[in-house]
Amino acid sequence: MQKDCRRVQISAIIVCQSRNCSLKMLFLTALHISRKGSSRLNATICDLFLLGLIVLSLSTSAIASDDCKEWKGKGSTRNLKEIIMGRCFDYLETINPSTRGKSCSEIWESFLKAFSGKDPCNIRKEDYGPFLKLADHDIPVNQSIFWSRTKELLFKFTDVTKKFMPLESTLTGYLLNGLDWCGTACRPGLNYESCPEWNECENNAQRSFWRAASENYAAKARGEVSVMLNGSTNVNAFRKTSIFGEIELANLDLEKVTSVHLWIIDSINGPDKESCGVGSVAELESILQEKNVNYTCKDNYGPVQMLQCVNKLDNPSCKLPTTLSLQKDLS
């Protein structure tokens, strides 16, 4: 009887391969073959066996469908490999030639391996360890700078001054800044349809990456460290749940960091919600004091405010500072 059922399976598969049958057609073909020259009992047993295979196949498909669920965020950036490889060569050859000697292909493969073909909500920080090791390089002394809700302004400031290297200006951050990526457990490769948003699940591919990269970046800070916070935001300027508050501040090597400079920057048109010694900024100052860290705090740091005023010269807040006050801020 088992041989008969096996004969039915093989015969049905051969027939369907030549005709490109669907799953339903495979079952019907097997059913037809099983009834040719078989006893009623054997045919019935074969029918039940085949029905079980169909149910199992459908159950597996349903599970795969759950793995391929649709997320709220954008899917992986198209041509992700080409973009990252291009950025890598650009960084090594023109932006920071001191990092030459790294293999862009190895960096890409280690990055892809961290999340490709995996549940996008089950990616750990440790999964990016090999990638971070390959892309790693030193941060110059006194050039580490952190931010929270001041990203655009900070990038303008660091681009103009050329005196700081934020995470996004390291090889690690430069490669991935502004991109989206995730995999899916139901098939190999990347998911170009949708990826989890930042808060959609705790251990999603992008959130785990930036947390791991931020931890690694903070641990490399040496000398003077700068922090730019938003004094006009509708949430606290300093939040313990932010990347800076939770990850970077906790991973500063206080044996290598000599001082921390806090800059609390208001929007040109306000409001002035938080300042040095007030609200959550006071909480941050208290944490630094407890850690015995030397720090300074300045509201609307002059050079940054001047940059804000470049396109808003008529704004009352953009009156040129006195030579004395500007020299004080630049010192």
At 316-330, the pLDDT tens digits run 878 765 544 555 565
Query: What's the rounded mean pLDDT across residues 154-178?
Result: 97
Q: Per-residue pLDDT for 136 more than 50?
A: yes
Helices (H) and strands (E) in the chain, counts: 12, 8
d(CA 284, CA 246): 12
> How large a percentage of the chain has pLDDT more than 90?
70
pTM for the model stands at 0.78
Which tens digit of pLDDT belongs to each residue from 283-309? Answer: 999 999 999 999 999 999 999 999 999
Query: What's the rounded mean pLDDT across residues 225-246?
Result: 96
Q: Which two tokens mark 318?
A: 């953009």
3-state secondary structure (DSSP) of residue 52: helix
CA 93-98-102 angle, to 5 degrees, is: 65
Say how many Å lie between the first and final Cα of the chain, rounded: 92
Q: Per-residue pLDDT for 239 more than 80?
A: yes
Q: Per-residue pLDDT for 274 more than 50?
A: yes
Query: What's the rounded mean pLDDT across residues 94-114?
Result: 98
Contacts of 21 (CB under 8 A, 6+ apart): 15, 29
Residue type, 93: E
Give residue 63's pLDDT.
41
Q: Per-residue pLDDT for 24 more than 90?
A: no
Torsion of CA 85, 91, 94, 97, to 10 degrees: -120
